[in-house]
Amino acid sequence: MSEEVQKVSEEVTLFTREELKSRNTREDAILIIHNGVYDVTKFLDEHPGGEEVLLEMAGKDASEPFEDVSHSSDARSLMKKYKVGELVEADRSAARAGFAPAWTNDQPQDQGNAWSAWLLPLVLGLAATVIYRYIFV
């Protein structure tokens, strides 16, 4: 089992962003999506969103526009068919914006906000109590 995994990982072709830059033509179109490298040359005609958008992003990182469109799970499994490799470690982007759970990075910030969220009602409550006592007692 572990041997099999080893074998698969050895077969992954690694690319640098630099060498992919020039692969932006109708005859040779690649996309970078979430650190994966996709050869979409044969997919240009079939893409439901049209070939223009793919050609516009060819040779570049299309992670953001890909997520902006909210592609279906069908689209996500279809893209596996066009995967030809991955970016070298040094060129990978750390954030997988579209896939990151919302709570991962925001937690400390949320806790900070929780404090100020408590403070305002507390001060307003105290002020209301003081005013009430001043007027009615």
Residues binding ligand HEM (CB under 6 A): 31, 38, 40, 47-49, 53-54, 57, 62, 65-66, 69, 71-72, 74-75, 78-79, 82
Q: Which of 67, 91 has the CB closer to ligand HEM?
A: 67
For the bound state, the minimum distance from the C-beta of residue 88 to ligand HEM, rounded and expressed in Å, comes to: 20
For the bound state, the minimum distance from the C-beta of residue 93 to ligand HEM, rounded and expressed in Å, comes to: 15
Which 3-state string (H, E, C) describes the chain? CHHHHHHHHHHCCEECHHHHCCCEECCEEEEEECCEEEECHHHCCCCCCCHHHHHHHCCCECHHHHHHCCCCHHHHHHHHHHEEEEECHHHCCCCCCCCCCCCCCCHHHHHHHHHHHHHHHHHHHHHHHHHHHHHHC
For the bound state, the minimum distance from the C-beta of residue 1 to ligand HEM, rounded and expressed in Å, comes to: 30
Q: Which of 20, 57 has the CB closer to ligand HEM?
A: 57
